[in-house]
């Protein structure tokens, strides 16, 4: 990408006055937190991170060609100190780790793109992609940033995290604007909010989906997890909030946050300033939603399945209304929306069981996915499910209990064991069962799915839960290629 030319005096103006310094006119190269990404004339940003102290790599960055280093200040090197190291300079700045979002925003400009931030436990990817799809259908240029990648839907670039680093986010947004993005929908994780990765972004609308158990290995308690999510609406520049008030946490926030709030409900709460369903119809071909509220009345027909997708659609619709997109244009295009890859994605072939691939990897998401499929299932409901290693162990028996309660046939298999023993993970899951003898254990995920297909009737539905869009499995020895979507297509003799 071509970035705007910025000098050090402009970049550092909020923190350090270099207007009369000989270094003030020095041009700032690409910003990088990882010294391994440094190229000639780049700028290395050295902070004390959660696991690694970037300041130990300053010499390496200069060796690779960095001409400027911005380093988190310390007792040895106080704020404002400038060191010359050959042709490179090292500038020490207080609290640099807290300033990354603003710093990167001064380097990478994207002021012409309207930003939508989506936070919550489940639904972020679906809602962000529905928003981008819908905007595209009404002839707007829209991009996404999140779990399944960054960019325009037809050309997503893979990402390592739901919410990237503060520098990556600003650089990507600038790049997308250069490619014509008028809107970008960002999935905003609790980690990203706590760590200030989106601190300097200006959101036109913030969306809250729901809150259920996840990431307690990081946050410790549900209250802390909720507090992290709420930061989008209380500590960030967020002009308007679209809140799912059918969720208990969302209901609390609706009554407490000071933003311009649009409450969204499937009918339990019928607020005239919100968007709410008056009737929802579920069929194998999709969902019909009659709605009323601030946007008036109308009907949305969408080719998605499941109650939670009805909620996702209404949240996306309310967001677009808040952005000023005409209601009639949205109604006219709703039938052209498509399911998101790996999110309640349906695979079918005549005379065979249906397979649904979904990313459900939390107790709440698994429960909702199975409950949604029960409405559509004429035969038995199967589920192949596992739990990730090196993550919250407390959710394992809870997910197992949900699978046993809501499915007719249950197979436990590997998800991403990471460094943990796959046997130990499933042993944790078994603790949540009442009838462990009725559950099949097959660690090989393809073999588990194949067994379900071989045993199921054409009226059955098989849910492959937990991996969704992912095309890999992570074991202690490393990653291997594996895709539930490819498995579903292969077992049914279908094409992706």
> Concatenated DSSP letters for 330-373?
HHHHGGG--PPTTSSEEE--TTS-EEEEE---SHHHHHHHHHHH
Does 353 share its domain with 325? no
Q: Where do the DSSP E strands lie in 94-236?
A: 114-119, 142-146, 149-151, 183-187, 202-208
Indicate whether 103 belongs to any domain.
no
Domain boundary among 73, 98, 123: 98
Does 216 share its domain with 315? yes
At 312, which CATH number? 3.40.1190.10
pTM recorded for the entire structure: 0.85
Q: 479 forms bridges with which residues in the sheet?
A: 474
**DSSP codes joined into one string, 160-191:** SSSS--HHHHHHHHHHHHHTT-SEEEEE--HH
**Helix pair angle (395-406, 363-376), 10° resolution:** 10
Q: What is the pLDDT along the chain (496 residues), one digit of tens a residue?
A: 555 789 999 999 999 999 999 999 999 999 999 999 999 999 999 999 878 999 999 999 999 999 999 999 999 999 999 999 999 999 999 999 999 999 999 999 999 999 999 999 889 999 999 999 999 999 999 999 998 899 999 999 988 776 789 999 999 999 999 999 999 999 999 888 988 999 999 999 999 999 975 545 554 587 888 888 899 999 999 999 999 999 999 999 998 888 799 999 999 999 999 999 999 998 877 899 999 999 999 999 999 988 889 999 999 999 999 999 999 999 999 999 998 889 899 899 999 999 999 999 989 889 999 999 998 899 999 999 999 999 999 999 999 999 999 999 999 999 999 999 999 999 999 999 999 999 999 999 999 999 999 999 999 999 999 999 999 999 999 999 999 999 999 999 988 8
Does 194 share its domain with 226? yes
Residues annotated in a binding site for meso-2,6-diaminopimelate? 391, 415-418, 466, 470
Does 255 share its domain with 157? yes
Domain boundary among 53, 78, 98: 98
- 220: its two tokens: 């410790």
Does 274 share its domain with 144? yes
Residues annotated in a binding site for ATP? 120-126
Indicate whether 1 belongs to any domain.
no
Q: Are strands 440-441 and 472-475 parallel, antiparallel or unpaired?
A: unpaired
Residues annotated in a binding site? 33, 35, 50-52, 120-126, 161-163, 189, 195, 197, 391, 415-418, 466, 470
Indicate whether 104 belongs to any domain.
no
Full domain range(s) for residue 471: 345-492
C-alpha count within 13 angstroms, C-beta hemisphere, residue 124: 25
C-alpha 142/C-alpha 118 separation (Å) is 15
When divided into structural domains, the chain yields a total of 3
Q: 299 forms bridges with which residues in the sheet?
A: 290
Secondary structure element (H or E) that encloses residue 244, with its range: strand 237-244
At 357, which CATH number? 3.90.190.20
């Amino acid at each position: 990408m071509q970035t705007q030319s910025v000098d050090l005096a402009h970049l550092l103006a909020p923190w350090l006055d270099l207007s009369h310094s000989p270094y003030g006119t020095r041009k700032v190269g690409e910003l990088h937190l990882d010294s391994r990404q440094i190229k000639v004339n780049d700028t290395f940003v050295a902070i004390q991170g959660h696991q690694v102290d970037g300041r130990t790599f300053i010499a390496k960055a200069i060796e690779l060609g960095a001409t400027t280093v911005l380093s988190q200040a310390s007792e040895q090197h106080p704020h404002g100190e400038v060191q010359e190291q050959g042709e490179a300079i090292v500038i020490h700045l207080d609290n640099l780790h807290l300033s990354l979002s603003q710093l990167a925003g001064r380097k990478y400009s994207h002021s012409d793109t309207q930003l939508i931030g989506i936070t919550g436990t489940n639904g972020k990817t679906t809602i962000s992609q529905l928003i981008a799809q819908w905007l595209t259908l009404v002839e707007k240029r829209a991009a996404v940033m999140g779990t399944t990648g960054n960019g325009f839907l037809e050309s997503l670039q893979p990402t390592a995290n739901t919410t990237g680093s503060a520098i990556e986010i600003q650089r990507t947004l600038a790049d997308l604007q250069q490619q014509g993005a008028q809107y970008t929908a960002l999935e905003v994780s609790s980690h990203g909010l706590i760590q200030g990765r989106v601190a300097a972004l200006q959101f036109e609308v913030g969306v809250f989906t729901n809150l259920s158990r996840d990431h307690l290995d990081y946050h410790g308690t549900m209250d802390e997890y909720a507090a992290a999510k709420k930061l989008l609406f209380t500590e960030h520049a967020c002009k308007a909030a679209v809140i799912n008030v059918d969720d208990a946490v969302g209901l609390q926030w609706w009554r407490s946050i000071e933003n311009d709030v649009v409450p969204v409900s499937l009918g339990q709460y019928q607020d005239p300033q919100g968007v709410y369903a008056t009737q929802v119809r579920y069929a194998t071909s999709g969902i019909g939603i009659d709605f009323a509220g601030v946007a008036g009345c109308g009907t949305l027909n969408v080719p998605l399945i499941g109650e939670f997708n009805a909620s996702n659609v209404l949240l996306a619709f309310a967001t677009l209304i808040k952005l000023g997109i005409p209601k009639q244009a949205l109604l006219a295009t709703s039938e052209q929306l498509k399911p998101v890859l790996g999110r309640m994605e349906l695979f079918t072939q005549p005379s065979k069981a249906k397979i649904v691939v979904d990313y459900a990897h939390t107790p709440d998401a698994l429960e909702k996915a199975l409950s949604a499929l029960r409405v559509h299932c004429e035969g038995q409901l199967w589920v192949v499910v596992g739990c990730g290693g090196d993550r919250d162990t407390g959710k394992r028996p809870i997910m197992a209990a949900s699978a046993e309660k809501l499915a007719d046939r249950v197979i436990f298999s590997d998800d991403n064991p990471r460094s943990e023993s796959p046997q130990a993970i499933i042993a944790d899951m078994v603790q949540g069962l009442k009838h462990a003898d009725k559950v099949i254990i097959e660690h090989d995920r393809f073999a588990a799915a194949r067994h379900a297909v071989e045993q199921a009737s054409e009226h059955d539905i098989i849910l492959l839960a937990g991996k969704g869009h992912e095309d890999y499995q992570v074991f202690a020895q490393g990653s291997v290629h594996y895709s539930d979507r490819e498995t579903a297509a292969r077992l049914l003799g279908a094409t992706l």
